Chain A
């Protein structure tokens, strides 16, 4: 690859690093509890959660991989980003209300409460290997890409980027992650779309771009079952079904992101915008370099390499079409794609380690400040382990490949256990454990004996069936889950209250502490604050407010800065206390005001959450 990097590009990269670290440190400066460190005190608006979620979703490999697919398969490279809607009912109607209302802090904790400690331990091991391996994988792929562009040593690059991610995450936890990822999400999508625009201009217009693509490259779906590297049926099972459920329901980082929303309603709004609007835009951003390159091939005037290695397309094309400075912005986006994934993963490892190991098994019953300190220490440990994996991935390609195989065989049984556990009351702890262990073992076996997958391969002509292995694992795990459940004893209904679909109303009731009511939800009113001597996290509202919001004593309320762009940074969840008769005034204690970072002089927005 012959890449020209100008001084202006280095300046842009430096500005990006300084900006992101400053943003993460500034917004995370008020983090004082584990609830804030892991869940940002559940205060954020849908748009902050949505954009930061897209940044976490786009990994360092995304631009390279989807540009390659875009070049080889065409616009169908967007399939993976536009096929999530099938599992959205599972997330919106089942998973999100369960984890939010039951206050589940980690995926292994859900398994402990829904099934038993044995299943929790199995899941804990899987999740930790998955998360730490994923940190190493992202660091490695980003390091290789940046080394190819800037000529910087792989390890220097990895260590610098990992330390920068850790720096702001360590300081502010989830709040820093969300705010930094919000910025990085805009950079990522902005850079991807910039390449598309500059590419189209270079080509001579949209019509030239479109007309230069072969018909097969213009379709939204790839071939049904061929070529074996990328086809619709394989993508459907490995990505749309198992991949999407795994991403939204099994990924601890995603659980924490949606737990940071101010309400379940706000979380639903976030995921809807992510899947309907942001993911299709992100799909264009990550794969358009491949489409543009393909469209440039027949143009004789453009001096582009005709026999390029597909994995180099993203960097080569960006360097070709972008002027100096703008190319630096693209490199920054590549690094942003890594940092926005890695910061969330580090925070996720820390949450799992504190909640499921330290607090649950090693040192229970300590004050929250102690666990916050431990959480920060685990963040360092997770980063160091991720960095240590990089030389292993670099030297032993079979370890790198082995990790990819691990995720492909462990995902289907996990997905089946999560989905059935959340939907089916009759699903037993014993069945969950055996689904994980036997489902994983049989999926592993299919790596050595791919012929096992053939009956479910939908006529795919390959010999590895790497895509169709997901369907095999899914069917095998589902069969084990159902059969073992029918012969073993399920948990008592009261033990799984709030953890299964049919019991979500019970979780809502427990969350609120009384019978929830829907009246007044969604109505917002502006008010002025007044300090008075009251209990922490209790407010007093006026009669007129109570009437408008249909609020009564004991209702869960949300007070936020009236400036919508603050996105919930200055806000607090409180309970409605006694009703007073001073119109337009919300009374609260000084401590409550400080806890929500609210300004006494500034107007606030008041709404009823439940």
Chain B
């Protein structure tokens, strides 16, 4: 795998582990309740933020190296 993609994959896999682990723990302890309006809003915001960086970085690398 080219080094720039390795950096990308490492960061999102290991960072993603920390990210989703906390979300999972919050859902399990019912601190983040997805049925509530506020909980749904927070969840969408968190996932949206993750995708914003993920897609942004991926497209950036793709267009620079294509």
List 8 A-B pairs, minimum CB-CB distance, nearest first: A86-B15, A221-B7, A232-B7, A89-B22, A502-B29, A93-B26, A218-B64, A86-B19
In the bound complex, do residue A219 and residue B61 qualify as a contact, i.e. CB atoms below 8 Å apart?
A: yes
Q: Which residues of B contact A276 (CB under 8 A)?
A: 49, 52
User: How far apart sit A49 and B39, CA to CA, in the bound complex (Å)?
Assistant: 23
Interface secondary structure of B, over-half rule:
helix
Q: Which residues of A contact B3 (CB under 8 A)?
A: 223-224
Q: Which residues of B contact A265 (CB under 8 A)?
A: 38
User: How far apart sit A501 and B24, CA to CA, in the bound complex (Å)?
Assistant: 12
In the bound complex, do residue A89 and residue B64 qualify as a contact, i.e. CB atoms below 8 Å apart?
A: no
Q: How many chain-A residues does the 8 Å CB contact rule pick out?
A: 37
Whether A89 touches B19, Cβ cut-off 8 Å, given contacts A501-B29, A504-B31, is: yes
In the bound complex, do residue A93 and residue B31 qualify as a contact, i.e. CB atoms below 8 Å apart?
A: yes
In the bound complex, do residue A85 and residue B50 qualify as a contact, i.e. CB atoms below 8 Å apart?
A: yes
Interface residues, chain A, CB within 8 Å of chain B?
A: 82-83, 85-90, 92-94, 97, 215, 218-224, 232-233, 236, 240-241, 265, 268, 272, 275-276, 423, 501-502, 504-505, 518, 521
Nearest chain A residue, comparing its CB with the CB of B12: A86
User: How far apart sit A132 and B31, CA to CA, in the bound complex (Å)?
Assistant: 36
In the bound complex, do residue B61 and residue A88 qualify as a contact, i.e. CB atoms below 8 Å apart?
A: no
Q: A219-B60, A505-B31 are in contact. List 5 more A-B contacts (CB 8 A).
A: A93-B22, A97-B31, A221-B8, A224-B3, A504-B31
In the bound complex, do residue A220 and residue B38 qualify as a contact, i.e. CB atoms below 8 Å apart?
A: no
Task: Select B37's contact among A82, A94, A518, beta carbons within 8 Å.
Answer: A518
User: How far apart sit A239 and B19, CA to CA, in the bound complex (Å)?
Assistant: 15
Nearest chain A residue, comparing its CB with the CB of B64: A218
Give the shortest distance, in Å, between A88 (CB) and chain B (any CB): 7
Can you name 17 A-B pairs with beta carbons within 8 Å? A83-B15, A86-B18, A88-B49, A89-B19, A89-B22, A93-B32, A93-B42, A219-B4, A219-B61, A219-B64, A221-B7, A223-B3, A232-B11, A272-B45, A423-B22, A423-B25, A501-B29
B31-56: which residues lie under 8 A (CB-CB) from chain A? Answer: 31-32, 36-38, 42, 45-46, 49-50, 52-53
Whether A223 touches B7, Cβ cut-off 8 Å, given contacts A93-B23, A501-B25, A504-B31, is: yes
User: How far apart sit A86 and B46, CA to CA, in the bound complex (Å)?
Assistant: 10
User: How far apart sit A275 and B49, CA to CA, in the bound complex (Å)?
Assistant: 9
Q: Which residues of A contact B22 (CB under 8 A)?
A: 89-90, 93-94, 423
Give the shortest distance, in Å, between B44 (CB) and chain A (any CB): 11
Nearest chain B residue, comparing its CB with the CB of A272: B45
Nearest chain A residue, comparing its CB with the CB of B57: A220
Task: Select B64's contact among A94, A215, A241, A521, beta carbons within 8 Å.
Answer: A215
Interface secondary structure of A, over-half rule:
helix
Q: Which residues of A contact B32 (CB under 8 A)?
A: 93
Whether A240 touches B64, Cβ cut-off 8 Å, given contacts A93-B42, A268-B42, A521-B38, is: no
Q: Which residues of B contact A240 (CB under 8 A)?
A: 11, 15
Q: Which residues of A contact B23 (CB under 8 A)?
A: 89, 93
User: How far apart sit A267 and B19, CA to CA, in the bound complex (Å)?
Assistant: 19
Give the shortest distance, in Å, between B1 (CB) and chain A (any CB): 10
Give the shortest distance, in Å, between B29 (CB) and chain A (any CB): 4
Q: Which residues of A contact B29 (CB under 8 A)?
A: 501-502, 504
Q: Which residues of B contact A223 (CB under 8 A)?
A: 3, 7
Whether A85 touches B61, Cβ cut-off 8 Å, given contacts A223-B3, A224-B6, A501-B25, is: no
Q: Which residues of A contact B4 (CB under 8 A)?
A: 219, 221
Nearest chain B residue, comparing its CB with the CB of A423: B25
User: How far apart sit A90 and B24, CA to CA, in the bound complex (Å)?
Assistant: 11
Give the shortest distance, in Å, between B9 (CB) and chain A (any CB): 10
Give the shortest distance, in Å, between B5 (CB) and chain A (any CB): 9
In the bound complex, do residue A87 and residue B46 qualify as a contact, i.e. CB atoms below 8 Å apart?
A: no
Which of B6, B7, B60 has the largest number of chain A CB atoms within 10 A? Answer: B7
